[in-house]
Amino acid sequence: MENNSTQIAQTILNQIKYSDRCALMAWGAKNFVALPKSKDFKGGVRFKVNGLQFKNWVTVELTWSDEYKVSFINRKREVVKEYDGVYCDMLVNIIDWVENKNVA
């Protein structure tokens, strides 16, 4: 059986690709890490982005109520923006919106 953390991370990335097949490339996404299950989350994915404005880490975590929490983390490992209650069809728009704003 495939590791559940890896499966959740891959599902999130597939949902992003389904919404916009060029989004990950446009953000310069790399260094993908599957996040483990925790008390608050089923799992998730973290990746580094190198966009025009935001050049650090994005974390997408799946809550136990099947919504996502999207966090933007700067080079000091501080959360600079955070969105709760995100659905899969909103992921690209939220990351695009923050990427086009100067948050770090």
Per-residue pLDDT of the chain (104 residues; tens, 9 = 90+): 347 889 999 999 999 999 999 999 989 999 999 999 999 999 999 999 987 777 899 999 999 999 999 999 999 999 999 999 999 999 999 998 877 654 44
104 in any annotated domain: no
80 in any annotated domain: yes
59 in any annotated domain: yes
Number of structural domains the chain divides into? 1
Which residue in 40, 97, 49, 96 sits closest to 68, CA to CA?
40
14 in any annotated domain: yes
57 in any annotated domain: yes
42 in any annotated domain: yes
Range of the domain at 74: 4-99
pTM confidence score = 0.90
